[in-house]
Copies of this chain bind each other. A is one copy, B any other.
Amino acid sequence: MTASASRQGQLKQEPPIFERGGQGRVGYSLPLLDVPEVEAADAWGSDLVRDQVSGFPEVSEVDVVRHFTRISQHNYGIDLGLHPLGSCTMKYNPKLHERVARLRGFAEAHPYMPEAASQGVLELIWRLERILSQITGLPYLSMQPAAGAQGELTGIMMITAYHHKRGERRQEVLIPDSAHGTNPATASLCGLEPVEIPSNERGTVDLDALRAAAGDNTAALMLTNPNTLGLFEDRIDEIANIIHDAGGLIYCDGANLNAILGKTRPGDFGADVFHINMHKTFTTPHGGGGPGCGPVALSERLEPFRPRPVVVRNEDGSYRLDDDRPDSMGKIHGFYGNFSMMVRGYAYIRAHGAEGLRQIAEDAVLAANYLKERLKGEYELPHDRPCMHEVVFSDLHQKKHGVAAMDICKRLMDYGFHPPTVYFPLVVPGALMIEPTETVSLQELDGFVEAMLAIAREARDDPELVRGAPHTTYHRRLDETQAARRPVLRWKPQSEEPSENDTAGS
């Protein structure tokens, strides 16, 4: 054993937990059994009882805590700094939220409690729906979707149910080419046909193409507004008319709601359904990938099709769940959605009020425009006009020196920053999609700018340095190709590794 030099700081390579244990160590406790023991073999028949759960580790609580603490150190979280992931709205997650979400009355509430025992949770959902209705300008909400993509599914299904109810079978969903992958995937999942609509040179929907595509078979347009280029669809009124005139509805992807809070409302610019990424705009923590919460706001005409049950306020001010919804599209969550994320989102909105929400939008947009101005000298800016909450550059200038967007991302790590979103939206080759959010300080913005400018210089003067990045992280660049070519997707004891193919049946 020798101390591996440099780049480790206090980081250590931590083996899989399965290699940490020792026979007979325990990491749990249970009360002594106060009822008679029951042998499963007697109760079920021995054929139904397994021997053991082989492979599970034998570790103490201390082992567990140290293992997960150590691996956690290999992560980069929001509390460390700027996380300018475009489209992701990585803003500060208030600590208060973790506290209130864990209030026993919320955390230990069971979804099938009698209504009399659920008034607090139902009231919170009802209040949140009313607030989101204000914010979106759409009268109704469904809180059931567990994330944005499930909101899309819900929205497109409601739209389909609406058309079916009217006796129409419209099969096409129009989707701008700048859209997020979930949009076409959602259309397919609903058994509909996604039709791609090109963007124009201004980065917005090509109205002629849209007109050409819209028609009898148009179920919906899935529009992201502000779009994924960080631009507001300034001809939104015409877009809405084209679709509505064709008998289609407008699904609006609300991933970028942060930019327009209190500035414009989807209900006012023609959206029929609008999903909210609670985990973006209203800052429920991303948790390394989830959970999210993707409520959809919807117009009057879609109301009958909402997933069931819905929260209803009774005349006497009490609340109940109404499951008697004959036209409902059904259910998309086992219970009512990610309630605990609703608590956090609710807390966030109530902390701000109307002025605060508008200030969020203004600061988020200001921060993005600040980056745009300071970086556009060095980085290709496909659309040089005021952006909304995010700005999309490309690696065009750096490509000349053989430096790609991904290299720039990796090099940013050496400067202590999380990289932006890359290679999305697809309409900008080599895209660098930067969303600072309103929770970032001017010092941090300036630090990021300096790092980006330094990298631009390095790309000219020493491209190899950038291509070889990251140099200072614990892991150098990880090999994704090998991972996909020979997938190792679970741990196995070394003795089993060679015979993997036998046991895995691959």
Contact = CB atoms under 8 A, between A and B. Distances in A.
B472 A1 contact: no
B70 A80 contact: yes
B441 A10 contact: no
A12 interface: yes
A359 to B, nearest CB: 12
A378 interface: no
Q: Is the interface of A mostly helix, strand, loop or mixed?
A: loop
Given A79-B69, A80-B70, A454 B9 contact: no
A2 B92 contact: no
Nearest to A93: B65
B9 A8 contact: yes
Given A62-B439, A66-B81, A9 B415 contact: no
A332 interface: no
A11 to B, nearest CB: 5
- A: interface residue count bin: 35 or more
B439 A472 contact: no
A104 to B, nearest CB: 11
A3 interface: yes
A76 B439 CA distance: 28
B79 A66 contact: yes
Of the candidates A2, A3, A81, A450, the one having the most CB atoms from chain B within 10 angstroms of its own CB is: A3
A5 interface: yes
Contact of A451 (B1, B60, B439, B447): B1
Contacts of A474: 9
A416 interface: yes
Contact of A80 (B3, B29, B69): B69
Contact of A9 (B3, B7, B65, B92): B7
Contacts of A499: none
B95 A65 contact: yes
A22 B80 contact: no
Contacts of A2: 454
A12 B69 contact: no
A165 interface: no
Nearest to A10: B76
Contacts of A471: 3, 5-6
Contacts of A447: 1
A415 B1 CA distance: 9
A442 interface: yes
Contacts of A63: 441
Interface string A15-42: 0000010100100010000000000000
A77 B411 CA distance: 30
A8 B441 contact: no
A365 to B, nearest CB: 18
A242 B92 CA distance: 65
A111 interface: no
A2 B5 CA distance: 21
A414 interface: yes
A61 interface: yes
Interface string A440-478: 111100010011001000000000000000011110000
Interface in A388-440: 411, 414-416, 439-440
A458 to B, nearest CB: 9
Nearest to A12: B416
A290 interface: no
A191 interface: no
Interface string A72-85: 01001101110000
Nearest to A20: B443
Nearest to A453: B1
A291 interface: no
B3 A414 contact: yes
A94 interface: yes
A441 B79 contact: no
Given A9-B11, A9-B473, A69-B80, 5 more contacts: A3-B414, A6-B472, A10-B73, A10-B76, A73-B73
6 contacts: A4-B472, A8-B416, A9-B11, A22-B442, A65-B92, A70-B80
Interface of A: 1-12, 20, 22, 25, 29, 60-63, 65-66, 69-70, 73, 76-77, 79-81, 92, 94-95, 351, 411, 414-416, 439-443, 447, 450-451, 454, 471-474
